[in-house]
Structure formats: C-alpha cells, structure tokens
Structure 1
Amino acid sequence: MDRTSRPASEARPSAADDDDPIAIRTTGLTKRYGSEVLAVDDLDLTVYEGEIFGFLGPNGAGKSTTIDVIMDYVRPSAGSATVLGYDAQDETRDVHERVGILPDGYGLYDRLSGRKHLEYAISLKRADDEVADLLDRVGLDADAADRVVGGYSKGMMQRLALAIALVGDPDLLILDEPSSGLDPNGVRLVREIVRDHAARGKTVFFSSHILSQVEAVCDRVAILNRGRLVAVDSIDGLRDALGAGSTVTLTVDAVPDSLSLAALPGVSEVTVEDRTIRVHVDDATAKVDVLDRVRDDGAAVLDVAIEESSLEDLFSAYTGDAPPVVGATEGAR
C-alpha cells in the first residue's frame, strides 16, 4: 500500500475512487448517553486495510465508546459503522470472527488458568492456534499458563489479554491501551507484535496514551476531542497543518560569507554560531531545500540533526481549550 505523504489540507479521495480496501468506516457516528452526555459526535472516519492507525484523544474524548460501537458492545444513537465490509450492528458475528480485540476494560476469570482462557478463545474462534505459540508471542511461560489468573500480576494479565486478541490471526487487531501495566520490555513487545501484524497485510487500530509508542509505529493518526474528530493525518502532515515545523541543525566546515537560506520558502528563522547553522523550517520540503542550499552556497556539511515537534506537542495543540481550525482531513497515507 502506498503510504507516501501528502499535505494535511489535501483530502483523501472517496472509497469509490480508491483501490485500497477499507477496514473500518464510520459515517455520522453519534453516541449519546441520556440527554446530557454526547460521547461521540458525528464521527466520519476511514481506516484502510494494512494500516497501523493511531486513535488518540484525552480521557473522555470518546475513543473507547467508538470502539464499543464498532464491536457492537453498544448501539449508536445515530450513524453507522462497517468493519471489513460488514455492518457493525447487523453482521456482528462476521465482524467478531475476523477481529481480535484487546479492550481497555477486559474481563478475565480469576479461577481459570491462562491456558484455559486461551483454549476457550480458540474454540470460540474455531481457530487452530497452539496455546504454546500464543504464550510465546506475548512472553508468558508454561508455568504461568497453568496458574490461575487470580495470581497474575497486572502485566501478566495484560499479556494474556493480548494473546487472546491474537487468536485466529485476525485481519483487524483493535488495541485499546495495550501497554497498560506493562514494563518496558512488554511495551517493546507490543510494538513488535503490531509491526509484525501489519507486515503481513493485517490492519491494526491502536489507541494509547503512550504517545511515543504511537509515533513509533503508526502510519496515520486520528485525534478526537470532546467526541469530535479534529484531525486525521500522518504525524508529518499534522506538523505541517499546524505549522509546527522542525529545527534543522547543520555542522559545516565553514559558514559561507553569503548564506542565502532566509530566502527559501518555508524557512522562518536562521541562526549561525561558529560552524553551526540552525534553521527553523515550516514543512518537510524545506528540510531538503535547506541542505541543498547550504551546499550550493559553498559549505561542506559535516553533520545534520533534525528536531521534530513531538506527537505530544501536536496532541496538546489539537486538544487544548481552543484547538486550531485546520479541518479533519484524511491525508498523508
């Protein structure tokens, strides 16, 4: 699948004009609880097969509610959702057969062993997985498999819940806060599982508060705020849409007498100190142009460092009290 970047302001073509099959689509999806709580507000979202798609937002933004509707754990107040071509509410059995989910509030049975949990999940999915293989994938040993879950640590429970989600090698893997309770090795394991799943053409829908992990693995991200979609793009696209830019630091053999960087489109600030040139650029294209222009001006570039706005910075900008009006475009694949 083509994941080349496009500007955040350029909307994706409609599904009818696109060759990529759709894993998840919501149209006007709305969920109210009573007359006062609007959990999800008119959500239009498209996730393409083969993507690692990040789904972000503050607590209470509507992320888990959206997942609950997608899986038909709750019914929408308005709108619709399809999953792998199936209607999420009318064809729930077909959806569940092809989706693996690690929900934020999963339930395990204290008196059953890890092995019994997996055997039951395998029977429900009518899958041919081996319990030992699943345990190995999530880093649980045979001793843990035969212990009752009531004696597990939080991290062990999370690993077991992840193993259950992987049963049947699902076409779509939905992970809601998958790193909860995990140590750094467990967080790294989740990242490896996500990448491996996508490398085999599967789709991963990934909601997490560990923004560095989302930034490390996701092709595109959606940001939800107060139930509404405020942005959908690649992380580079989100930076460009906000004008967050990057700082390019060049170490050169000697600073040219005539340095023409300030005249470049997308360059907003240039500082020089000894043999170091620092340039703030507004978009990805300008980063390449800066390097070329310094060489054209006669300097030999000895080292290059680029400091990007982090996903945490972008998240804060999009979900603050007055989020920028940039439009929730579906760009940058």
Structure 2
Amino acid sequence: MSVLETQGITKRFGEVEALKGVDLNVGKGEVLGFIGPNGAGKSTTIRVLLGIIKANSGEAKIFGQDVWKDAVELHKRMAYVPGDVNLWPNLTGGQVIDYFISLRGAQVNKERKLELVERFQLDPTKKCGTYSKGNRQKVALIAAFAAEADLYILDEPTSGLDPLMERVFQQCVIEAKERGSSVLLSSHILSEVEKLCDHVAIIRDGAVIESGSLTELRHLTRTHLYIETKASVDLSDELGVFEWKQEKDGYSFQVDSDSLSSVMKKVSEHGLLKVESAPPTLEDLFMRHYETGGDNS
C-alpha cells in the first residue's frame, strides 16, 4: 500500500525546469532516503508534497488524496521538519512545541513530549531567541515525534545537531517505523540514510536517476579489495578494475560487481595469500551518479 506516491511531477519557475517528471513511492512503514546534490530538486519536491507550491503537471498523492487540493486534511496526519528552523524569538521552546502539535489538531501527549525533551537534552523554558541552530532543530524534531504522525517528511532534519543527538534522532525514526509510520528522509548524511532507509531515490537536475532498495542499487557500485599474492600481478588494465595501486605487501583496487568473479580467478592464478573486502557503500553509489550523471561506465 502506497502512503506517498508521485507520478511524473514537473515544476517550472519561469524558464527554469526545477522538476522533470519525478516519481516517488513510499509504502506503509517504509523509510525512503531522498538524496542528491544541492539544487537537485529535493526541497522543491518536498514543497509540492506539502502543498506549499503546485506542480505544473503530474500527480502527487498522500494517503490517496491530492497533495494540493487536500493539503489541510493531509497535514493532520503528517509531520514536517525542515533543515533550517525559524521560531518565534519571544516564545519558549516548550510553548512552540505545544503550538506546533496543536496546529495538527492533536492533543499534546505530555509524557511523550517530556520524554523527548529529555532525550534531546533541550531546556524548554528558554526563549527561542536564545537558542542555537541545533536547539531550534531539536524543537521541531520534538514537536514532530511527539505528534506520532502517520507520515514524516524530514528535509535535512539533523542539520546543526551533534553526533550524539543525531543518534537520538535515528532512534526516533526507527521507533516511528516500528509503529507503522512512513518516512521520507532527505539527508546529506549518507551513513544516516544507510542506517535508516529501506529504499533510496537519487535525484539529479530535477529527475530521479536511480531508485530501489539498497541491495538492488549496490550492484552498481564497486567493491574495494586488498590482496596479497605469492607472485607479482598487475591487473590495472583488466576490464572492471579501477584504481589499481601497489601497496607495501600487496595491492588495493576497486572492481565492478559484474567483473568480480573473473578478476578473482585471475588473482588466484598468482597464488592468493590474503584478501580483504570492503562492501560498497551508499556514498560510492551516490558519488558515481554525481560524477557521471548515472552513466555506470
């Protein structure tokens, strides 16, 4: 069952085509990582989903309802956290949290709110004008997770947080998923996406250039290998081998998954003594798409 679905949404700002037919799908209880370089179209897509701007064409639905026509109803079941939170400087953090929750038409769960305030180490009695960027971010995160929404749309939500608070955030996402909530997570922290997300969509120049589960996408990345052999070997010109380097006692290189079997067969002919393998990461995949625009050559 799709909680969030877009089909071919486009958006133009004058002569600039910001979105070029974006397709996304988030199922119930799923976390979708939405990644791409700055200016790729992530925030524009999110503004369309929130009903802040209207797409020029295509279809975007949340809970089966149109994101533009039914925005007010939809927001009662959603929680949104931007990457740069602006708050009322003369209100306390606690007052703003209560206000944000009330905007969704929900009752404030005081126990849940207090638990999150403690976990995020926020002083809710201080006025927001005294808060650092990280503390302003905490206010938005506490308000979002205290509401226990059915869908969370998070646009660079850990911007300004220290590593300890990032881990608290990650745990909150995991708990939301376990409750059956769905999450659209836009993040530059690829390790965060890798820990939390079931699926990934990579956007570049307003178009989704690759999407799927992490397992499905990793076949496009190169495995990092370090080997030691009895006899010297040089596979620098071998098909599928990249960044071949001779080390003190062996060789390090990258190999395409499709070429791994043939490369290891050739290595074994030289008396394989040691092999170390590092699995491909989401960052490898992202950087290859960023550098080549999705060309896997």
TM superposition score normalised by structure 2? 0.81
Alignment of 1:244-283 (within 5 A): 244-247=221-224, 282-283=256-257
Aligned to 1:198: 177
Alignment of 1:1-333 (within 5 A): 21-33=1-13, 35-137=14-116, 139-140=119-120, 144-241=123-220, 244-247=221-224, 282-283=256-257, 305-320=276-291, 322-325=292-295
Query: What CA RMSD, in Å, does the superposition of the two structures yield over aligned residues?
Result: 3.4
Counterpart CA distance in 2 for 1:202 and 1:276 is 48
CA drift at 1:325: 4.2
Unaligned runs of 5+ in 1: 1-20, 257-265, 327-333
Provide the secondary structure at the position in 1 that maps to 2:126: coil
Counterpart CA distance in 1 for 2:214 and 2:277 is 15
Counterpart CA distance in 2 for 1:280 and 1:179 is 32
Deviations 1:81-134 (A, max 9, x none): 001211101111221011111023433111111111122123222323334532
CA drift at 1:315: 1.2
Q: Is the 8 A contact 1:125 1:167 kept in 2?
A: no
Counterpart CA distance in 1 for 2:252 and 2:54 is 53
Provide the secondary structure at the position in 1 that maps to 2:154: strand
Provide the secondary structure at the position in 2 that maps to 1:120: helix
Aligned to 1:12: none
Amino acid in structure 2 at the alignment position of 1:226: D
- Change in Cα spacing, 1:107 to 1:280, as seen in structure 2 (3 Å) is closer
- Change in Cα spacing, 1:312 to 1:131, as seen in structure 2 (3 Å) is same
Q: Is the 8 A contact 1:51 1:203 kept in 2?
A: yes
Provide the secondary structure at the position in 1 that maps to 2:174: helix
Amino acid in structure 2 at the alignment position of 1:39: A
Counterpart CA distance in 1 for 2:222 and 2:204 is 23
Counterpart CA distance in 1 for 2:39 and 2:213 is 23
Amino acid in structure 1 at the alignment position of 2:94: R
**Aligned residues with identical type, % of pairs:** 35
Amino acid in structure 2 at the alignment position of 1:314: L
Counterpart CA distance in 2 for 1:141 and 1:192 is 15
Deviations 1:201-236 (A, max 9, x none): 211110111112112221111111111111002233
Amino acid in structure 2 at the alignment position of 1:224: I
Counterpart CA distance in 2 for 1:36 and 1:79 is 18
CA drift at 1:170: 0.6
Q: Is the 8 A contact 1:24 1:84 kept in 2?
A: yes
Unaligned runs of 5+ in 2: 231-238
TM superposition score normalised by structure 1? 0.73
Aligned to 2:233: none
Q: Which has the higher contact order (CA 8 A, sep 6+)?
A: 1
Provide the secondary structure at the position in 2 that maps to 1:100: strand
Q: Is the 8 A contact 1:119 1:131 kept in 2?
A: no
Counterpart CA distance in 2 for 1:313 and 1:278 is 16
Counterpart CA distance in 1 for 2:112 and 2:39 is 36
CA drift at 1:279: 9.2
Deviations 1:135-165 (A, max 9, x none): 43253457x1111111111111111111122
Counterpart CA distance in 1 for 2:100 and 2:112 is 14
Q: What is the count of residue pairs matched by the alignment?
A: 284
Provide the secondary structure at the position in 2 that maps to 1:196: helix
